[in-house]
Structure 1
Amino acid sequence: MKVLIAGGAGFIGSTIASACIDSNITPVILDNLATGRREFTRGRTFYEGDICDGDLVDRIFAEHPDIETAIDCAALIVVPDSVANPLGYYRENVSKGIQFLEHLARNNCRNLLFSSSASIYQADPEDFSVDENSPLETLSPYARTKALFETILRDVAEAGTLDVISLRYFNPIGADPQLRTGLQIRTPTHALGKMIDVHHAGAAFPLTGTDYPTRDGSGIRDYVHVWDLAAAHIRAVQNFAAITHDGPYRVINLGTGRGTTVRELVTAFENVTGTPLAITETDRRPGDSAGAYARVDLAQELLGWKAEHSLEDGIRDSLRWYAERDTALGVSELPG
């Protein structure tokens, strides 16, 4: 079995590719390397280029006619950047995505797994948990690109063009446990990445937002290990027809089912490292929300999947990757 992974040289896409290899599924990677890393494609079938390049996509299918499923991980994902550059985000995440769908349909690739996001949810004010039918509230251009593209996918699926499973990721942490790949940027914007940076620098962690209506005032998230996310994709690829049997468009949450506040993440980080972490309280970032965590019953029902790794596992694997990252990728060439 072969799968096409668009964005397969990025953090999540490359981890999915590793899980595919471990499961005897051959990944074919398409990535323009805007944020992905060539190093993550070593020993893998790789095409450098853009998802909107129809000639390139046609060549991929001509050379790999046995590709059964496409996994679309190609997107820009940084919330503050999307606020500053909404046109760029709509171009990359929506306009190019539409062209990619046309290329897939033309090449008779009917199965698509889409990397969506929990950022599109309106949290339940009682406990901040959400299921696939919870109301949506998009507070940033990034979130709006994901919600808009889901609408497009639903229409395309209902028209009979493609069958689609939209996987709504919560907050990925960790790394491939074998350290084949991991987070590739030097200055990550998410909470755990910042904690690791300031931990090694001996600086204070900026806690952005302390007045949310959560149990301790900090944002609440569902931190899911990236290796668990990858395992969910394998289950979806292997059971695609059964999952879409009752409808051509399915949405599935991928999270742990547990909410962790940023202050609680700090405590877990301190427990793993054995050292205290200084905190500086700051205002909310533009586009941020209080957050949410997943209700995961549907993932268990349709995928037979649940997250196996703990929060501490994710912190430990993130720290292990940080220690190897610059050697693996070359410190002078790492993007900011």
Structure 2
Amino acid sequence: MKKILVTGGLGYIGSHTVVELQLAGFEVVIIDNLSNASKDVLQGIERITGILPAFEELDLRDKQATISFFQKYDDISGIIHFAASKAVGESVSNPLLYYENNVSTLITVLQQIQHKKKISFIFSSSCTVYGQAKTMPISENAPIQQAFSPYGNTKQIGEEILLDTAKIASGLHVISLRYFNPIGAHPSTEIGELPDGVPQNLVPFITQTAIGLRKELSVFGNDYPTEDGTCIRDYIHVVDLAKAHVTALKRLLDDTHEASFEVFNIGTGRGSSVLEVIESFERVSKQQLQYEIVARREGDVISAYADTTKANTVLGWKATSTLDEAMLSAWKWEQKIRKPNN
């Protein structure tokens, strides 16, 4: 049983990936500083899989603590690196936090593993590295545009660091997964998205508005050059996304990768506008959502959806859940966590 480190493993995508790793037979060790996650997620993972993963509360900005961790766990075969701040809007208002938390921590981790004989590394990247792509859908060959936000820039920098390091660290093999917009929750409703404070992402704001936690949803702009004037994104069910990490990890561990650094888009291949997402939610929840059109938000691109051909054919992974299925799982999760006994 290979031991896999998941940094940020109690977060939204991290926790779903831990579940899929354990179901696939891997032994998981989680690092999380609990800045945007709860230790209670461990119990949710255990209830789904029957296994309580090892957990170390650790901030990767603490270099000495990170060194001590890797001395303790010197038999790690692979790392899935989620630990990062992830809100586009917040990165615009607090860029230094994002450069410190997203870039310096990646460097600290790589410093501990660059001399290992063999280590597989999956990087949590983002479609934001493409900026506003000139053509849709976006393929991995699309040029990297100037980032629209410090968050997007940290993902570009992270990929550059990994590419350069993999060139000189012969045992390091990397797959960067550029994912589009993860939504939804585990069908068990044991784990899901738990944003800290006011949600920065569309779907949790929708569900919190419908449950009565927010007065109304703000739709940022309806004057974009799209069919209904609202931004278009590729919304992927978080469980599909989690499974992509397991598939990518196996590719590295089985030595079937073609280069020391590979990139795959992870999405559905379909773009949905903000208004289409709202309509999907209203359809599956039987709720009418209160929303208001407001000014555009700085840092938002007009349209972004994936060409998933490479992920489907080379990686051997494909998203299977529909937008409606993802929205329904998000709604069921919201209903569960707002119950009086939760």
Amino acid at match of 2:83: A
* Among 272, 281, 288, the residue aligned to 1:269: 281
Matching of residues 119-268 of structure 1 within 5 Å: 119-125=128-134, 128-137=136-145, 138-161=147-170, 162-185=172-195, 186-201=197-212, 203-241=215-253, 245-268=257-280
Question: Which moved further from structure 2: 116-125 or 75-84?
Answer: 116-125
Question: Which moved further from structure 2: 203-212 or 226-235?
Answer: 203-212
Unpaired runs of at least 5, structure 2: 44-51
| RMSD across aligned positions (CA) | 2.1
Q: How many angstroms does 1:104 deviate by?
A: 2.1
The equivalent residue for 1:95 is: 104
Give the Cα–Cα distance (whole angstroms) in 1 for the partners of residues 205 and 40 of structure 2.
Answer: 23
Amino acid at match of 1:213: P
Give the Cα–Cα distance (whole angstroms) in 1 for the partners of residues 246 and 16 of structure 2.
Answer: 11
In structure 2, relative to structure 1, the CA distance for the partners of 1:64 and 1:221 (3 Å cut) is same
Unpaired runs of at least 5, structure 1: 331-336
Give the Cα–Cα distance (whole angstroms) in 1 for the partners of residues 341 and 152 of structure 2.
Answer: 30
Q: How many angstroms does 1:308 deviate by?
A: 0.8
Question: Which moved further from structure 2: 237-246 or 224-233?
Answer: 237-246
Amino acid at match of 1:166: S
- Structure 1 residue ranges (4+ consecutive) displaced by more than 6 angstroms after TM superposition: none
Q: Secondary structure at the match of 1:3?
A: strand
Give the Cα–Cα distance (whole angstroms) in 2 for the partners of residues 323 and 40 of structure 1.
Answer: 17
Is the 1:122–1:134 contact (alpha carbons within 8 Å) kept by the matching residues of 2? no
Give the Cα–Cα distance (whole angstroms) in 2 for the partners of residues 207 and 310 of structure 1.
Answer: 22
The equivalent residue for 1:12 is: 13
Question: Which moved further from structure 2: 64-73 or 51-60?
Answer: 51-60
Give the Cα–Cα distance (whole angstroms) in 2 for the partners of residues 183 and 227 of structure 1.
Answer: 12
Give the Cα–Cα distance (whole angstroms) in 2 for the partners of residues 156 and 130 of structure 1.
Answer: 26
The equivalent residue for 2:295 is: 283
The equivalent residue for 2:3 is: 2
Amino acid at match of 1:196: T
Amino acid at match of 2:292: T
TM normalised by structure 2 equals 0.90
Q: How many angstroms does 1:244 deviate by?
A: 6.2
Q: Secondary structure at the match of 2:303?
A: coil
Q: How many angstroms does 1:259 deviate by?
A: 0.5
Give the Cα–Cα distance (whole angstroms) in 2 for the partners of residues 329 and 285 of structure 1.
Answer: 36
Is the 2:114–2:169 contact (alpha carbons within 8 Å) kept by the matching residues of 1? no
Aligned residues: 329
In structure 2, relative to structure 1, the CA distance for the partners of 1:86 and 1:221 (3 Å cut) is same
Partner deviation per Cα, 1:231-283 (whole Å, 9 max, x = no partner): 11111111215676421010100000000011111111111112322331111
Give the Cα–Cα distance (whole angstroms) in 2 for the partners of residues 81 and 271 of structure 1.
Answer: 31
